[in-house]
Amino acid sequence: MSLEAIAARLAALDAGQAAMNGALGLMLDTLHVQTTLLRKLSEFAAADSAPSPLLKTLQGLTAAIMDLDASVGEVERKFDGLAQVLSAAFGVPLGEAPPAQNGQEWPQSSDIDGEGG
């Protein structure tokens, strides 16, 4: 595999990572709004002095959303910097085209990464 192919692949991975981070950020924003709403509903349900199955359900939903929020945040952190790590692993500066070298090219097709070749 040539350094040019590695650099091109890293650039594609970097673009894909940026798109995934954007989507994960939107998911986190949605989860934060849902958590806030569930907390407010729990407060209203807790205002009733009698034990409420609604309160237990809302607390369970809030806990589940918070767990999901933490999981999505973890995925986002793992994607953050992925292209830089791969770039360092291959010894190719991200965003720079390496000098031409002979070698097997990285296979490019739409069925590998959905981006085409």
Whether 55 shows a pLDDT value over 60: the answer reads yes
Whether 115 shows a pLDDT value over 60: the answer reads no
pLDDT confidence of residue 102: 44
Supply 22's token pair: 């954007």
As a whole number of angstroms, the distance between CA 31 and CA 24 comes to 10
pLDDT confidence of residue 39: 82
Q: Which three-class secondary structure state does DSSP give residue 8?
A: helix
pLDDT confidence of residue 100: 47
Contacts of 95 (CB under 8 A, 6+ apart): 11, 14
Q: Give pLDDT tens digits for 31-49.
A: 888 888 888 887 877 776 6
Whether 103 shows a pLDDT value over 80: the answer reads no
> Do the Cβ atoms of 69 and 92 come closer than 8 Å?
no
Q: Give pLDDT tens digits for 62-102.
A: 888 888 888 888 888 877 777 778 778 877 776 665 444 44
